[in-house]
Amino acid sequence: MISTLTDEQRDFVEAVGEFCRREVTDSVARPHDDALYREMAKLGWLGISLPEEYGGAGRGMRDLVLFLETSAYWRAPTGGYATSVITAAAYEKFGSADQKRRVLTDFLNGEVLSISMSEPGAGSDVGGLTCRAEKSEDGWVINGQKTWCSNAHIAKHILLVARTSTEGGKHEGLTMFSVPADSPGLEIRGIDTMGGREVNDLYFTDCVLPAAAVVGVEGKAWPQLMAGLNIERMILAGLMLGTARRAFDDALAYVRQREQFGRPVGSFQALKHRLADHATELECTRLLVHDVAERMDAEPGTLFPREASMAKLKATEFAKAMALDGMQMLGGYGYATEYGMEGLLRSTVVSTVYGGTSEIQRDIIGKSLGL
């Protein structure tokens, strides 16, 4: 455990770990178990970083990273949490008083939230969005398709980014909307992936929303999104840090007990040196992620785009590499679902794509260097 944690943080990590050791079993449905998730809500953990005025604990990014890292390490089936806390942060910053009351209360009570940006023709290039929201006499009418929307199928509220104007630059004229997931005119259709059905296509056909559905300022979704992307990247970094730790520990435990040629395979230099390198990379990743989280808590008005991109890039790329090498070290058992390493690999492969690809993170870091 990191030496700079306070006694309160150590107790928190231990409490989350004990809960997961007790409640997370092979029989728990994955990737999201609603009953277990709502138990965490009752304990007040879902709102760990939400300000107290909205019912949260107000404990900042470092504590959020600790929760994400610990729950991911113990493989808690809370797949809806990452999108929920990302979306909740947007409502907290830009939502109306009524939106905050309804949506944040639902979030704290264990409802899943989702955010929808990507489209078939617009992924990394958010400015290319074409899903339209047109004003009507009573509010707005939405038409178009969104895609790769994580957890929309289990969400109660979806934060939609749609185009409300074609005037100005491509990043102008985008608006956020609060959309109930059961809205008439919205069809949610799952996409089969190697990780199961965790992402969805959304089809809007004359979906009517009230005028009050706008989140923040009409036409200003782009700067609102930019204000939240670094939070999203830190959330994903925390998750993948925990996943990388689990992959490392599982690989280490296996090579210690697995014997070939009369001795544990971990005693052979080929594996010993690989695990030494992974241990070093893991420590570097952990220090980076927690350092950036501490900086964000110390300067809450600062965005830290370079540092958040570094944390996301490092944690996701290392987690993927660790899980892949873990499979190699486990041999045939690494490919078997009984041992779990293949599941860790499936969850890490996509991490270098969502929340901004590794290539986008490198571009952001490069621009911060004046390149």
Type of residue found at 286: R
* Active-site residue identified among 111, 119, 218, 232: 232
Residue 1 in domain: no
Q: Are 170 and 249 within one domain?
A: no
Q: Are 31 and 84 within one domain?
A: yes
Q: Are 187 and 268 within one domain?
A: no
Q: Can you give the residue range of the structural domain that contains 335?
A: 223-368
φ, ψ at 307 (rounded to 5°): -70, -40
Q: Are 215 and 229 within one domain?
A: no
Residue 86 in domain: yes
* Confidence at residue 30, expressed as pLDDT on a 0 to 100 scale: 67
DSSP summary character for residue 122: B
Instruction: Determine how β-strand 263-264 pairs with β-strand 132-135.
Output: unpaired
Q: Is 232 a catalytic residue?
A: yes
Residue-averaged pLDDT of the chain: 94
pLDDT digits (tens, 9 = 90+) for 255-306: 999 999 999 999 999 999 999 999 999 999 999 999 999 999 999 888 899 9
Q: Are 19 and 86 within one domain?
A: yes
User: How sure is the predictor about 2, in pLDDT bands with cuts at 50, 70 and 90?
Assistant: low
Structure tokens at 333: 């058992």
* Confidence at residue 244, expressed as pLDDT on a 0 to 100 scale: 98
User: How sure is the predictor about 122, in pLDDT bands with cuts at 50, 70 and 90?
Assistant: confident
If residue 34 lies in a helix (H) or strand (E), which one and from where to where?
A: helix 34-42
Give yes or no for residue 320 having a pLDDT over 60.
Answer: yes
Work out how many domains the chain is built from and give that number: 3
CATH of the domain at 199: 2.40.110.10
Q: Are 338 and 266 within one domain?
A: yes
Boundary of a domain, candidates 87, 112, 137: 112
* Confidence at residue 368, expressed as pLDDT on a 0 to 100 scale: 95
Q: Are 13 and 105 within one domain?
A: yes
Residue 76 in domain: yes
Q: Are 177 and 279 within one domain?
A: no
* Confidence at residue 207, expressed as pLDDT on a 0 to 100 scale: 98
User: How sure is the predictor about 25, in pLDDT bands with cuts at 50, 70 and 90?
Assistant: confident
Boundary of a domain, candidates 198, 219, 240: 219
**Full-model pTM:** 0.93
